[in-house]
Amino acid sequence: MLEIAVHQFAESLKGADYAHTTIRDYCDNVKDLLRYLANEEYLSDIKDIREEHLRSYQLYLKDKLHKGRKLSRKTIRTKLGALRCFFKQMLEANHLRVALEPCIRLPKTQEPILHNLPTVDEVCELLDSIDTETVLGSRDRTMLEILYATGMRSLELRTLTLDSIDLTENVVRVNGKGRKFRVVPLGEWVIPFVRDYLEHYRHEIAGNSPLLFPSKNGRMITKANLGDLIKKYADKVNVTKRITPHTFRHCCATHLLDSGADLRMIQRLLGHADIKSTQRYLNTLTNHLQVAHLKYHPRQERC
């Protein structure tokens, strides 16, 4: 019954158009719970699960070690979030006697303050270092310009298709988390790179692929590949700060905010469902303000 429940859960997520990686991770988290209940509570049917079993499992997660370290609050929250989704679906399918979703309380987490982000000059130096006279150079420059201009996520960038780009309106249609689409501006400075790449280079690697930025073999660029090429260009210009695809997202938001952009605009650009996710960038702005205040306020020099 437990394995059937996991299979049914996976099918329901597929029907709701969840991403493959999300389905895999959610099911792995459910399997972890069910293994615990089978081994520690001797349960073999989800209908027998009660609130005290879930409390016991949550205590187990707090003490669980992974590679010698306890799980972070964020990891525990992610695992429990998957379980809430599972129990909600099981209740709707009449596989539970009582609602168990409300029994799972998600631990509060605080978004870490972003430190040591690349400056505008460092990002621009990295982008300007890319040779656009080659196929992969043109692709990479266009790709990273779009990443910095829009702040989109790695997967959002890698899954863009030709149909995603509208050069008449200078916008890109992004397939975000939970299959939520949003339309964001490209930025006028990006358009020449896009046009040059599409007209002169993309056909040499795309084949029949609909992807806007395929690999040299015509397949989707992997997350690791994208990270490696960013590191290559960062090393080329001696940027010692850690730069990943997600760093470009942080830089886009932070640099916009530093320049006076509205927080709500940045929320829409990044595709955040909750403004609280965007407000984390205010912490970075506050840090910059404190440093500038100490450096430039005339009273500081006299004390």
Q: Would you please indicate which residues are annotated as catalytic (active-site) residues?
A: 153, 177, 246, 249, 272, 281
Burial class (CB in 10 A: 0-12, 13-18, 19+), 130: buried
What is d(CA 35, CA 72) in angstroms, rounded to the nearest whole number? 21
Contact 130, 137 (CB under 8 A): yes
Strand bridging mode 165-166 / 171-175: antiparallel
Sheet with 181-185, side-by-side order of all strands = 165-166, 171-175, 181-185
